[in-house]
Amino acid sequence: MSLLLILLAPGIAALATTRVQTRYLRELALMGTAVAFALSIVAALSALGGAPQSETSAWAPAAGLTFRLAADGVTASLLLLNSGISLLAIMATRTEGMRRPHLFMAMLLLAQVGAAGVLLAQDMVLFFIFWELVLVPFLVLIAVFGEGNRENAALKMLIYTSLGSLSMLVSIATLFVLSGSHSFLIDDLAHANLGGGPAFLGLSAAQLAFAGFAFAFAIKTPLFPFHGWVADAYTSCPTPALMVLAGVVSKLGPYGFYRVAIRLLPGAAHDFSWVLMTLAAVGIVYGALLALRQRDTKRTVIYLSVSHMCFITLGIVSLTSAGLAGGALQMVNHGLLITAMFFIVGHLETRLGTRDRGRLAGLSSAAPVLTGVFMLIALAVLGLPGLNGFAGEYLIMAGAYARSWPILLLAASGVILASWYTLRLYQGIMNGSPGAGSEEDEAAVVVPARAELASADLGILVPLVVAAIAIGVFPGPLVNLVNQGVVHLSRVLAGGAG
């Protein structure tokens, strides 16, 4: 029941938004999400206790559909991330003065439900349903509440990702047909016996199915070079929605690899892991170099995120114990950090009216608090040991190294570049003398004093900072939690792949 409530609580809140006054909107949403958060903690604890929660109920047996939810360690950790980030995103939403806040809130909550559903679903059709359900809210959030060329950005994102998910649908159908068991449950599909021989284009059925999954998840992640939709979508996405989109939803890609693709097709996963690892490693450097060259602060963070998501994927597809654990760990960490980054960038834009780094400079003396927070987040982002970015990266690199030398070196160079672009971003905004670059146009003169964080902003950033430090110093619990799930997959790999 409790797992189901994780879905229902925000869902009910979403429905209730239509019936509540604007000024209670945020409280309503927070209530719904808080329930989910609490239940996620329960799920995490029981997973830590070695007894992961699981719930099954009949759905459409004739059609082979079962309604089963389960939360292993990895799932639980991401559930926490999901509801936690959603809480912050809701807090970050300025309902007053917004047009149609009800719709906005409802969509935020719906996105949360969708993400939680993807994390929990154990039936592939259920998984797919939630997978698509996540998209719809963002269609509205971006197309209606976004900025710039928002409608096209939204459509592009949806069509691109749906192309992936449709290919996943075909893969699901294939596995369903090939596995005699008349059921869409992941555990049953895992027993599909796919003929080894080439089925199509010289690839075996298993490889084709895996390709279908991988395509979907790579686009969602986004894994280089399938990130064509990201720049536009993220750019026009309003900040609170972006916190969820980049912080949580992007994790569903690697999670899909973990939960579905590798779990169902370990053999094919091994056949493809080289391709995927190469793409990921190249993507790390690619994203880093692009982040280095962006002038727009938001775009810098976007490509930074691309680079890091490739890092996560690298860990997962390395198919090693350390790599998987590191990837799972890094999903949570990256979720926390990228949320903070996008919030800070959005905050600066709203306060100072610009994302152009040429016009931002020397804010540190005017905004000491922001400086401290931003510094810490930046350091965590560049993976400073002692903060939460490190442990994950370390394990991922271990996984990469266990598979191949050159890929480790690529990843390592990515780390070095990370220190470069992150400091460039941070110093460019914070250090130097204020108003340095603002000669370009007198029209918009940046007033550093406005940049300081208000208490409301701190309410959003402090939890993230605390989490970043806490996980950095005491990663133990999280690692154990994650391993609870990873060990199971390792067993599959040890058996299925050996």
Q: Inter-axis angle of helices 73-92 and 321-352, to 10 degrees? A: 0
CB of 87 to another protein, least distance (A): 25
Reading phi first (left if > 0) and then psi (alpha if -120 to 50, else beta), residue 438 is in alpha
Can residue 56 be called a binding residue for another protein (CB under 8 A)? no
CB nearer to another protein: give 87 or 268.
268
Using CB under 8 A as the binding rule, the residues of this chain from 232 to 261 that contact another protein are 232
CB of 258 to another protein, least distance (A): 13
CB nearer to another protein: give 88 or 475.
475
Nearest to 131 by CA among 152, 146, 116, 151: 116
Contacts made by residues 42-46, CB under 8 angstroms, sequence distance 24+ = 42/2, 43/2, 43/3, 43/6, 43/71, 43/75, 43/76, 43/79, 44/71, 44/73, 44/76, 44/77, 44/79, 44/80, 44/481, 46/71
Can residue 265 be called a binding residue for another protein (CB under 8 A)? no
CB nearer to another protein: give 91 or 407.
407
Can residue 109 be called a binding residue for another protein (CB under 8 A)? no
Can residue 163 be called a binding residue for another protein (CB under 8 A)? yes
CB nearer to another protein: give 23 or 182.
182
Reading phi first (left if > 0) and then psi (alpha if -120 to 50, else beta), residue 270 is in alpha
Residue from 2, 26, 46, 151 in contact with another protein (CB under 8 A): 151
CB nearer to another protein: give 160 or 213.
160
What string of DSSP letters covers 92-144?
Answer: H---TT-SSHHHHHHHHHHHHHHHHHHHHB-BHHHHHHHHHHHHHHHHHHHHH
Residue from 122, 174, 236, 333 in contact with another protein (CB under 8 A): 174
Distance of CA 195 to the CA centre of its chain: 35
CB of 53 to another protein, least distance (A): 20
Residue from 34, 41, 42, 59 in contact with another protein (CB under 8 A): 59
CB of 105 to another protein, least distance (A): 14
Element holding 58 (H helix, E strand):
strand 53-60
Using CB under 8 A as the binding rule, the residues of this chain from 474 to 493 that contact another protein are 474-476, 479-480, 483-484, 486-487, 490-491, 493
CB of 448 to another protein, least distance (A): 12
Can residue 318 be called a binding residue for another protein (CB under 8 A)? yes
Backbone angles phi, psi at 198, to 5 degrees: -65, 135
CB of 35 to another protein, least distance (A): 22
CB of 342 to another protein, least distance (A): 20
Rounded Cα gap, residues 409 and 404, in angstroms: 9
CB of 282 to another protein, least distance (A): 11
CB nearer to another protein: give 20 or 129.
129
Distance of CA 117 to the CA centre of its chain: 14
CB nearer to another protein: give 185 or 397.
397
CB of 111 to another protein, least distance (A): 14
CB nearer to another protein: give 85 or 425.
425
| Binding segment toward another protein, per CB under 8 A, in 245-253, 284-292, 347-355, 454-462 | 284-292
Residue from 180, 225, 406, 459 in contact with another protein (CB under 8 A): 225
Residue 50 is given by DSSP the state: T
One-letter amino acid of 119: L
Rounded Cα gap, residues 336 and 377, in angstroms: 9
Residue 364, CA atoms < 13 Å, CB-side half-sphere: 13
Total residues contacting another protein (rule CB under 8 A)?
105
Using CB under 8 A as the binding rule, the residues of this chain from 369 to 428 that contact another protein are 379, 382, 384-386, 390-391, 394-395, 397-399, 401-403, 408, 412, 415-417, 419-420, 423-424, 427
What string of DSSP letters covers 301-350?
Answer: HHHHHHHHHHHHHHHHHTTSHHHHHHHHHHHHHHHHHHHHHHHHHHHHHH
One-letter amino acid of 472: G
Rounded Cα gap, residues 440 and 356, in angstroms: 11
CB nearer to another protein: give 59 or 94.
59
| Binding segment toward another protein, per CB under 8 A, in 3-11, 37-45, 58-66, 233-241 | 58-66
Can residue 227 be called a binding residue for another protein (CB under 8 A)? yes
Using CB under 8 A as the binding rule, the residues of this chain from 9 to 48 that contact another protein are none
Contact indicator for 20, 112 with CB cutoff of 8 Å:
no
Residue from 60, 445, 454, 456 in contact with another protein (CB under 8 A): 60
Can residue 216 be called a binding residue for another protein (CB under 8 A)? no
What string of DSSP letters covers 416-469?
Answer: HHHHHHHHHHHHHHHSS-TTTTTTS-SSS---GGGGSPPHHHHHHHHHHHHHHH
Rounded Cα gap, residues 362 and 69, in angstroms: 50
| Binding segment toward another protein, per CB under 8 A, in 4-12, 95-103, 190-198, 451-459 | 95-103
Rounded Cα gap, residues 32 and 16, in angstroms: 10
Length of the chain: 498
Can residue 311 be called a binding residue for another protein (CB under 8 A)? no
